Amino acid sequence: MTDNNLPEEYFWKWRDYQVHIDHYQPNGVKRDKKLILLHGGGGNGRLLSPVAVCFSQLGYECVAPDLPGFGLTKINTPNSYHTWIELVDDLVQKEMNDQQSIILCGVSLGGMLAYQVACVNSNVKGLVVTSLADTRLKDVRAGLARNRIFGSFSSIVFNGLKRSLDNVKIPIRWTTKMWAMANDRNLVTALKRDSVGSGSSVYLKFIRTLFEVAPAIEPFDFDRCPLLFLQPEKDKIIPWVLSKPFYDQLNCEKEVMFLTNCGHIPIEKPGTDQMKESALLFLERI
């Protein structure tokens, strides 16, 4: 990011939230598709600035919200994962116009979030995701968990205590393999210091609802829009084996591209070049 490509920043009043948004406008001719960029747990909209800068320079308007619990969006009470789905659903409606189609782009848990929003909002015309981990499944939850201790603890939360712990906040680094957020050690160090991202805390209510939510349309019935899956080859948090069962069941037009040498947050070449090229071809076909 430079002084020449900084986003417009503003707060969108949504329900009881003031949602922080980074908005990137193309300098030249604006394309007929608008990208809404969705981060995952421990992320925020600014973390997706490399994608936003790249595609805004290619003519695509990009909108990157800070989802409740992370970034500069403030919350006063425990939020659930359902809040994320409802917020993005309304954001799609807010950003719609007659000249542009809405494309949802989700990184990490933002991938399944994008899919879940497309299930309830037919105005989503395409999906670009880096994961589709169905967190209802025990094997997926175990794969996402930082270790077996948290995996066992989460089962107690979901099967017994449930809402009695909703108000408790714990560091996000306790829940997942934060050391594997990226394969670049310097980036991981920076992420851990981000007090509104990977260095923040999360309500157990959010984790509980994340692990129990079901999509409005199961994958074998989903044919609403095409999907491009960009799988980082060296993702140690959500590897292909966790997303493949869900992807295989999808009944929509779909394709998968494996990003060579890339980790969970894809920043390595040649994978980033593959990501850009395949996404451009996908967007042009829609």
The CATH number for 67's domain is 3.40.50.1820
Q: What angle do CA 270, 274, 275 make, to 5 degrees?
A: 115
How many structural domains compose the chain? 1
Q: What is the reported pLDDT for 153? A: 52
Residue 19 falls within a domain, yes or no? yes
Q: Distance between CA 42 and CA 97 in Å, rounded? A: 31
Residue 197 falls within a domain, yes or no? no
Band (pLDDT 50/70/90 cuts) for residue 59 is very high
Residue 79 falls within a domain, yes or no? yes
Among 271, 247, 241, smallest CA distance to 258 is for 271
E-strand stretches of 154-286: 169-171, 201-203, 227-232, 254-259
Residue range 256-264: average pLDDT?
Answer: 97
Residue 168 falls within a domain, yes or no? no
Among 57, 54, 61, smallest CA distance to 22 is for 61
Q: Choose between 239 and 147: higher pLDDT.
A: 239
Q: How is 147-170 classified by DSSP, letter by letter?
A: SHHHHHHHHHIIIIIGGGGTT-EE
Residue 176 falls within a domain, yes or no? no
Q: Choose between 155 and 239: higher pLDDT.
A: 239
Tokens 């992320």, residue located: 43
Q: What is the reported pLDDT for 155? A: 54
pLDDT (tens digit per residue) in 135-167: 999 888 888 876 655 555 555 555 555 678 899
pLDDT (tens digit per residue) in 6-53: 999 999 999 999 999 999 999 889 999 999 999 999 999 999 999 999
pLDDT over threshold 80, residue 236: yes
Q: What is the reported pLDDT for 157? A: 53
Residue range 84-108: average pLDDT?
Answer: 97
Q: Would you state the torsion angle of the CA atoms of residues 220, 145, 266, 1, taken in this order, to the nearest 10 degrees?
A: 120
pLDDT over threshold 60, residue 220: yes
Residue 180 falls within a domain, yes or no? no
Residue 269 falls within a domain, yes or no? yes
Residue 249 belongs to what domain range? 8-137+216-285
Residue 88 falls within a domain, yes or no? yes
Band (pLDDT 50/70/90 cuts) for residue 118 is very high
Q: CA gyration radius for the chain?
A: 18
Q: What is the reported pLDDT for 150? A: 56
pLDDT over threshold 80, residue 275: yes
Band (pLDDT 50/70/90 cuts) for residue 228 is very high
Q: What is the reported pLDDT for 49? A: 96
Residue range 81-99: average pLDDT?
Answer: 97
